[in-house]
Structure 1
Amino acid sequence: MLTSQRKSLILDMLRREGQVVAKRAAEEFSLSEDTIRRDLREMAAEGLLRRVHGGAMPIAPDLPDFSARRAVSSDVKQRLGRAAADMVKPGQTIFLDGGTSTAEIARALPRDFAFTVITHSPTIAAELERHPTADVILIGGKLYKHSMVATGAAAMNQIALMRPDIFFLGVTAAHPVRGLSTGDFEEAAIKRHIAACSAETITLVTEEKLDAVSPHVIMPVSALSGMIVQEGIDEERLASYRALGIALLEA
């Protein structure tokens, strides 16, 4: 088997299972563990995966600070934001997570009927300063500056009293086996709490976040009501998400 073929099989396993165990891969591909480990070392050097003891994990997405992420507003995120905003109905209460993708939702929210927005992000609240029909409830707490969201016990207690119709969740990574994840332990906890208080949870995922894993799990992908992904992603990559029974919208 050619090296390129072996590496392709390894990447397929990584996407499918969220990890590669060298011993299991060697058995499945009828190769020696030494060969698999050598391939994993080379692939890690090429930036294709992250070596761990006994195998490999997906590369965790980089976490640039909020100001850097806000400076990059792509057409893809705008399309995803518009698709999410179109889901909002008159009189609903929605919860907007922090982040640049949810900022695009805030900018695209309808202006011809009334609804309520809850957020624990002062930057999201500021986006809605001049919105003519949105009532805004801002949750307070300890500010996590990287994502500009309130965290901690005070925020959790306030959120426990809310029952949003839709929670638009921000994630740094989504994987069909490893779940939805983010880079901070406290932020993952509060995202999980908001989802538990909400009737529906929807997340927006750009291609680089798909089939990736960040250090702190929020919840399984199957706990979502739906996922909005950028159009043009291979159906083969989306099939494992559709199999979980969630609604997938391409935008």
Structure 2
Amino acid sequence: MLKKERHDIVMRQINLHNRVLTSDLVQLLDVSEDTIRRDLQELSDQNLLYKVHGGALSKSYHSTFDDSTVYAKEAKIIIAKKTIPLIKDGMVILTGGGTTIIELVKQLPENLQATFFTISPLVAVELAKYPKVEVILIGGLFSKNSQITYGGHVINQLAEINADLCLLGTSALHPKDGLTDTDWEINQLKKRMLSSSRKSAVLCISEKLNISLRLKVTALENISYLITELSPADVKLEEYHVNGLKLL
């Protein structure tokens, strides 16, 4: 495989999942760890990603102030606008982090009156722009990789919340394996967030469909809404028509 082809695959993986592990890329591309390290360093030198210990992070994942590098931005805006009708005045909302959630926050009605709990400082910054929204940032250890708070203290705080709606972005969604992730801490957070909410919505660009990662968060049947940029009748969503899950 040519280096350019490897680089294209690496960038697709990081755009889809926001972070990649060197070990996963070694398996995916069937090359040595040294080769992957060199590839990541070259892409970092081109200012296309952040190289970190054990892998790399997306450039667009780390700032709400420069959204010029947000991957699939138009699709995420469509998803955001489809999600807005689920959010009503007086609701208690629990959110994760990520660029899709940030795009959603940017589309909220200016006079919305609601309470938002979030584990993402970047999401909290965007929510703070709304005068009638109460913003509660759940504090704990801060993950430099995922840009969210995590750990036992965060999970304990989440256990005390009874939210009307949980809004989650995702790295992967599969018709049989459901919602999955690669990071153990994030996995535990998402499980706790879902159990602390009466309803849940997963916001997912269609490129992340039919992908299964190593750690399971929950089955499709335990999610209230799946929101993509596609029409619910799209053939790509055929296998996602399951009991308990509404497609938007």
TM-score over 0.5 (shorter chain): yes
Answer yes or no: is the 8 Å Cα contact 1:66–1:146 preserved in 2: no
CA RMSD of aligned residues (A): 2.2
After TM superposition, give the deviation of residue 211 of structure 1 in Å. 0.5
Q: Structure 2 matches for 1:114-153, cutoff 5 A?
A: 114-153=113-152
After TM superposition, give the deviation of residue 216 of structure 1 in Å. 1.6
* 1:72 paired residue among 70, 73, 78: 70
Cα distance in 2, alignment partners of residues 204 and 105 from structure 1: 9
After TM superposition, give the deviation of residue 233 of structure 1 in Å. 8.1
Q: Tell me the percent identity.
A: 28
Aligned residue identity for 1:72 = V
The answer to whether 1:98 aligns with 2:97 is yes
Deviation by residue 1:95-121 (Cα, 9 ceiling, x = unmatched): 111100000111111222311111011
Answer yes or no: is the 8 Å Cα contact 2:115–2:135 preserved in 1: yes
The answer to whether 1:167 aligns with 2:166 is yes
After TM superposition, give the deviation of residue 219 of structure 1 in Å. 0.7
Cα distance in 2, alignment partners of residues 100 and 45 from structure 1: 26
1:208 aligned residue: 207
Structure 1 unaligned segments of length 5 or more: list them.
1-43, 47-62
Structure 2 unaligned segments of length 5 or more: list them.
1-27, 31-54, 64-68
Cα distance in 2, alignment partners of residues 232 and 83 from structure 1: 11
> SS of the counterpart of 2:166?
strand
1:53 aligned residue: none
Answer yes or no: is the 8 Å Cα contact 1:203–1:227 preserved in 2: yes
> SS of the counterpart of 2:202?
strand
Cα distance in 1, alignment partners of residues 234 and 192 from structure 2: 31
2:24 aligned residue: none
State the number of aligned residues.
191
Going from structure 1 to structure 2, the CA distance change for 1:130 and 1:173 (only over 3 Å counts) comes to same
Answer yes or no: is the 8 Å Cα contact 1:66–1:147 preserved in 2: no
The answer to whether 1:219 aligns with 2:211 is no
Going from structure 1 to structure 2, the CA distance change for 1:211 and 1:153 (only over 3 Å counts) comes to same
Cα distance in 1, alignment partners of residues 146 and 58 from structure 2: 6
Aligned residue identity for 1:65 = L
Scaled by the length of structure 2, the TM-score of the pair is: 0.71
Q: Structure 2 matches for 1:1-251, cutoff 5 A?
A: 65-69=57-61, 71-72=69-70, 74-231=73-230, 235-249=234-248
Answer yes or no: is the 8 Å Cα contact 1:82–1:104 preserved in 2: no
Return the structure number with greater relative CO, CA threshold 8 A, min gap 6: 1
Scaled by the length of structure 1, the TM-score of the pair is: 0.70
Aligned residue identity for 2:91 = Q
> SS of the counterpart of 1:132?
coil
Cα distance in 1, alignment partners of residues 83 and 126 from structure 2: 16
Q: Max radius of gyration: which structure? A: 1
Answer yes or no: is the 8 Å Cα contact 1:182–1:217 preserved in 2: yes
> SS of the counterpart of 2:240?
helix
